[in-house]
Chains A and B, each alone.
Chain A
Amino acid sequence: MSEAGIIEKLREGNEKAFSDLVNTYQKMVVNTCYGILHNIEDAEDVAQDVFIEVFRSASGFRGDSKISTWIYRIAVNRSLNFLRNHKRRRGFQSFDDIVETPKTVTGEADTESGGDPQSDMENSQRSVLIHAAIDALPKNQRIAFTLNKYEDLSYKEISEIMELSLSSVESLIHRAKKNLQKKLYNCYKKKCI
Chain B
Amino acid sequence: MKCKAIHKKLIFFLENDLPENEMEEIKLHLAGCHECADFAEYMRKTLKVLNQERKPDVNPFFYTRVKARLENQTIKEIATPLWARILQPAVFTLLLLAGVYAGIKIGQPANNIQETYYAEQEIFPYLYEMAAEPIETFLME
A→B interface (CB under 8 Å): 19, 22-23, 26-27, 30-31, 34-35, 40, 43-44, 47-49, 51-52, 55, 110, 112, 122-123, 126-127, 129-130, 149-150, 177-178, 180-181, 184-185, 188, 193
What is the bound-complex CA distance between A22 and B66, given in angstroms? Answer: 9
A48 to B73 Cα, complex, angstroms: 12
Which residues of B lie under 8 Å from residue A185 when comparing CB positions? Answer: 7, 39
Residues in B with CB closer than 8 Å to A127 are: 49, 53
* A48-B69, A178-B11 given; A27·B55 CB < 8 A: yes
Task: For the complex, give the distance between the alpha carbons of A150 and B39 in Å.
Answer: 24
Contact of A177 among B12, B49, B54, B70 (CB under 8 A): B12
Given known contacts A19-B63, A22-B63, A181-B8, A27 and B58 CB-to-CB distance under 8 angstroms:
yes
- Which residues of the other chain, A, contact B62 by a CB distance below 8 angstroms? 22, 26, 30, 44, 47-48
Q: Which residues of A contact B50 (CB under 8 A)?
A: 130, 149-150
CB of B27 within 8 A of chain A? no
Distance of A112 Cα from B42 Cα, bound (Å): 20
By Cβ-Cβ distance, the 8 closest A-B pairs, closest first, are A181-B11, A126-B46, A126-B49, A127-B49, A177-B11, A22-B63, A48-B66, A51-B66
User: How long is the Cα–Cα vector from A34 to B39 in the complex, in angstroms?
Assistant: 28
Q: How far is B50's CA from A184's CA once the two chains are assembled, in angstroms?
A: 14
Could you show 25 A-B contacts with beta carbons less than 8 Å apart?
A: A19-B63, A19-B67, A23-B63, A26-B58, A26-B62, A26-B63, A27-B58, A30-B58, A30-B59, A31-B54, A34-B56, A40-B56, A44-B62, A48-B65, A48-B66, A51-B66, A52-B69, A123-B52, A126-B49, A180-B11, A181-B7, A181-B8, A181-B11, A188-B43, A193-B46
Q: How far is the CA of A110 from the CA of B48 in the complex (A)?
A: 13
Cα of A123 to Cα of B43 in the assembled complex, Å: 12
A43 touches B56 (CB 8 A): yes
Measured between alpha carbons, how far is A148 from B8 in the docked complex, in Å?
Answer: 21
Q: Which residues of B contact A188 (CB under 8 A)?
A: 39, 42-43
Q: Are B70 and A52 in contact (CB under 8 A)?
A: yes
CA distance A180 to B50 in the complex (A): 13
Residue of A nearest to B70 (CB): A52
Closest to B53 in A: A127
> Given A123-B49, A130-B47, A178-B11, A52 and B66 touching (CB < 8 A)?
yes
Nearest neighbor of A185 in chain B, beta-carbon distance: B7
Q: Which residues of B contact A44 (CB under 8 A)?
A: 59, 62, 65
Taking the closest CB of chain A, its distance from the CB of B49, in whole angstroms, is: 5
Give complex CA distance A181, B14 in Å. 11
Chain B, 10-25, CB within 8 A of any chain A CB: 10-12, 15
Q: A181-B10, A181-B11 are in contact. List 4 more A-B contacts (CB 8 A).
A: A44-B62, A55-B70, A110-B52, A123-B49
Which residues of chain A are within 8 angstroms of B58 by Cβ–Cβ distance? Answer: 26-27, 30
A31 contacts across to B, CB distance below 8 A? 54-56
